[in-house]
């Protein structure tokens, strides 16, 4: 049977297939094009039937297949007005080549959408950056599209208009200090001091005299004339009690008293002074559960949490990861006085899939490291800190090896996934695995790894 007969037998089916199809005989003469081909290429391809493929379809890969007798899978080319991806396979009968058939899919829309998406994302990042520049104060705060964050931002704005105490809870690096400063700088106390006290970093005894000050002779080593405490220093402004969950129980009633009536007493003194201080407290612990375990005073807890901002971890703000990445790149590059770097798609994939236990601070560190490593203004997988690239691989391996002994196929799939992750393109991945590109594609198909 020759190619024409073969095609004629299946013509009814080929005619209704949605993908474009071209078939040539063993000499490269076009014997069939289907209607979808015309739709995709925008040309009346029937005219090419009977002509040599060279003439009908310039730069046709199908001729290479005729020559080599080997399939070509996932070839990206232009066909008339469209971008297509084609699989071209030799057709053999009794081992003898009788022709080749190319089946291709229109990917113009996908490419266009991809480009539009990319442009849109860049525009969003740029606009949000501009918007932030309007007020110098907020230029580092990404709000994004996360609904919870919108509520938190609204609450923070409300908080800045009143004097109520604020408690900000959230994991490390989620922006507690950023929001505390935001509230202060939008309040009418903005021209007065914003005083930061890290309650975990200062030993308990010292913390008391730091907060409330001391009188001359209060203890050995006390300065002549005594010293003003941080509450007094913050008078008229805001005091930020960071890591409040670590504050010792003996100190808590003293702080509570200041919160209730604005009174402070310097260590070693028995007269009270009045201060007007707004308190914003923050903790990465769950203060409520500390209260339940009697590790934190309940009355102080309720005094502090008049307004409660609960900042979500970055891994719960997936929809905004892209915006964070772009915006932090802009910020980091400005800081390092470099041109704004791009991110390659594989590197972006890794950045988007990472779970950021250290939240936004960790992302900033990762991006700063990557920008420093980068030499060609495109952040690529090689520029990312090694633990990002390595970590997932190890997880995968553990997964497949601990549950039970893996099958050979599972291992093969695993290795292919890793090669695809590690190398920028399929050619490099295939050559690292010492197989042909076509084989790689076949295996990707087998293991459902082809992009849809």
Ligand X SMILES: Nc1ncnc2c1ncn2[C@@H]1O[C@H](COP(=O)(O)OP(=O)(O)OP(=O)(O)O)[C@@H](O)[C@H]1O
- The footprint of Mg ion (CB under 5 A) covers 177
Closest C-alpha to 268, from 221, 316, 324: 221
Applying CB under 6 A, what is the total number of residues that bind ligand X?
15
Annotate each residue in 362-401 with x if it binds ligand X (CB under 6 A) or - if it does not, as one string.
Answer: --x-------------------------------------
* 130 φ, ψ (degrees, to nearest 5): -60, -45
What's the Cα-to-Cα distance from 143 to each of 57, 325, 409, 435, rounded to whole Å? 52, 13, 45, 47
Nearer to ligand X by Cβ, of 105 and 140: the residue is: 140
Contact 80, 86 (CB under 8 A): no
Which structure tokens are listed for 298? 């309940």
Question: Are the C-beta atoms of residues 253 and 211 closer than 8 Å to each other?
Answer: no
CB of 172 to ligand X, least distance (A): 4
Min dist CB 198 to Mg ion, Å, is 8
- d(CA 194, CA 233) in angstroms, rounded, equals 9
- The DSSP code sequence of 252-287 is HHHHHHHHHH-EE--BT--S-EE---EEEEEESS-H
Give the Cα separation of 446 and 244 in Å (integer): 55
Tokens matching residue 318:
């997936």
Instruction: Please identify which residue in 77, 105, 108, 140 interacts with ligand X, judged by CB under 6 A.
Output: 140
Q: Dig out the tokens for 13 from the structure.
A: 């089916």
Single residue of 41, 102, 284, 370 touching ligand X by CB under 6 A = 284
Minimum Å gap between C-beta 250 and ligand X is 24
Cα–Cα distance, 6 to 73 (Å, whole number)? 22
What, of ligand X, Mg ion, none, does residue 321 touch, CB below 5 to 8 Å by kind?
Answer: none
> Interface residues for ligand X in 213-272 (CB under 6 A)?
none
> Closer CB to ligand X, residue 177 or residue 382?
177
Nearest to Mg ion of 103, 290 (CB atom): 290
The least distance separating ligand X from the CB of residue 257, rounded to whole angstroms, comes to: 27
Q: Which does 226 bind (CB under 5 to 8 A by kind): ligand X, Mg ion, none?
A: none
Q: DSSP label at 377?
A: S
Q: Which does 246 bind (CB under 5 to 8 A by kind): Mg ion, ligand X, none?
A: none
Exposure b/e, 238-255, CB count within 10 A at least 16 = b: bbbbbbbbbbeeebbebb
Q: Which is nearer to Mg ion, 177 or 393 (CB)?
A: 177
Q: How far apart are CA 225 and CA 222, in angstroms?
A: 9
Q: How far is the CB of 452 from ligand X (least distance, A)?
A: 33
Listed in sequence order, the residues at least 6 apart from 124 whose beta carbon sits closer than 8 Å to its beta carbon are: 323
Measured from the CB of residue 178, what is the shortest distance to ligand X in angstroms?
Answer: 4
Encoding tokens for residue 193? 């001091």
Q: How far apart are CB 116 and ligand X at their closest, in Å? A: 26
Q: Judged by CB, which is closer to ligand X: 36, or 280?
A: 280
Q: Which residue is nearest to ligand X (CB)?
A: 175
Extended beta strands in 72-161, E state: 72-79, 82-93, 96-106
141 touches ligand X (CB under 6 A): yes
Least distance to ligand X from the beta carbon of 324, Å? 7
x-marked contacts with ligand X along 336-365 as a string, rule CB under 6 A: ------------------------xx--x-
- For Mg ion, give the closer residue by CB, 182 or 441: 182
Give the pair of three-digit tokens for residue 426: 């399929």
* Backbone φ and ψ of 45, nearest 5°: -75, -15
**Residue 57 or 141 having the CB closest to Mg ion:** 141
Choose among Mg ion, ligand X, none what residue 172 binds, the Cβ cut-off being 5 to 8 Å by kind: ligand X
Q: How far is the CB of 363 from ligand X (least distance, A)?
A: 8
Cβ-proximal residue to Mg ion, closest one: 177
Shortest Å distance, C-beta 184 to ligand X: 13
What is the DSSP pairing of strand 20-25 with strand 227-228? unpaired
Ordered strands of the 20-25 beta sheet:
30-33, 20-25, 96-106, 82-93, 72-79
Q: How far apart are the first and last CA of the chain?
A: 35
Give the footprint of ligand X on residues 161-200 (CB under 6 A).
Answer: 170, 172-178
State the binding partner of 170 from Mg ion, ligand X, none, CB within 5 to 8 A by kind.
ligand X
Nearer to ligand X, 297 or 317 (CB): 317
Binding site for ligand X (CB under 6 A): 140-142, 170, 172-178, 284, 360-361, 364
């Amino acid at each position: 049977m020759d190619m024409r007969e073969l095609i004629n037998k299946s013509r009814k089916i080929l005619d209704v297939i949605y993908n474009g199809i071209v078939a040539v005989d063993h000499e490269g003469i076009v014997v069939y094009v289907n209607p979808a081909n015309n739709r995709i290429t925008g040309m009346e391809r029937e005219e090419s039937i009977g002509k040599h493929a060279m003439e009908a379809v310039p730069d046709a890969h199908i001729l290479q297949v005729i020559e080599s007798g080997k399939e070509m899978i996932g070839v990206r080319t232009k066909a008339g007005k469209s971008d297509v991806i084609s699989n071209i396979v030799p057709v053999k009968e009794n081992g003898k080549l009788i022709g080749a058939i190319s089946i291709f899919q229109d990917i113009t829309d996908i490419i266009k959408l991809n480009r539009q998406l990319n442009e849109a994302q860049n525009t969003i990042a740029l606009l949000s950056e501009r918007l932030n520049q309007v007020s110098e104060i907020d230029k580092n705060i990404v709000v994004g599209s996360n609904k919870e964050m919108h509520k938190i931002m609204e609450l923070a704005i409300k908080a800045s208009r009143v004097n109520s105490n604020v408690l900000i809870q959230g994991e490390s690096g989620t922006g507690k200090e950023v929001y505390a400063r935001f509230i202060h700088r939008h309040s009418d106390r903005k021209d007065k001091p914003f005083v930061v006290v890290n309650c975990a970093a200062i030993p308990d005894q010292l913390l008391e005299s730091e907060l409330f000050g001391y009188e001359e002779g209060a203890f050995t080593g006390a300065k002549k004339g005594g010293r003003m405490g941080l509450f007094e220093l913050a008078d008229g402004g805001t005091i930020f009690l960071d890591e409040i969950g670590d504050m010792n129980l003996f100190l808590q009633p003293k702080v509570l008293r200041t919160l209730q009536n604005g009174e402070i007493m310097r260590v070693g003194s028995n007269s009270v002074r009045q201060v007007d201080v707004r308190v914003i407290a923050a903790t990465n612990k769950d203060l409520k559960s500390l209260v339940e375990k009697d590790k934190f005073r309940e009355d102080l807890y309720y005094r502090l949490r008049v307004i409660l901002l609960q900042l979500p971890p970055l891994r719960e703000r997936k929809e905004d990861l892209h915006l964070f990445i772009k915006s932090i790149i802009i910020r980091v590059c400005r800081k390092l006085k470099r041109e704004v770097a791009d991110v390659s798609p594989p590197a972006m994939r890794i950045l988007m899939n990472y779970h950021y236990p250290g939240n936004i601070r960790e992302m900033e560190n990762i991006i700063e490291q990557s920008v420093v490593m980068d030499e060609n203004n495109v952040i690529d997988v090689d520029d990312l800190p090694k633990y990002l690239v390595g970590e997932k691989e190890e997880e995968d391996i553990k997964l497949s090896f601990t549950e039970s002994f893996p099958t050979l196929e599972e291992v093969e799939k695993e290795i292919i996934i890793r090669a695809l992750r590690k190398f920028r393109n399929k050619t490099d991945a295939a050559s690292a695995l010492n197989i042909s590109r076509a084989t790689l594609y076949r295996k990707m198909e087998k293991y459902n790894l082809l992009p849809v």
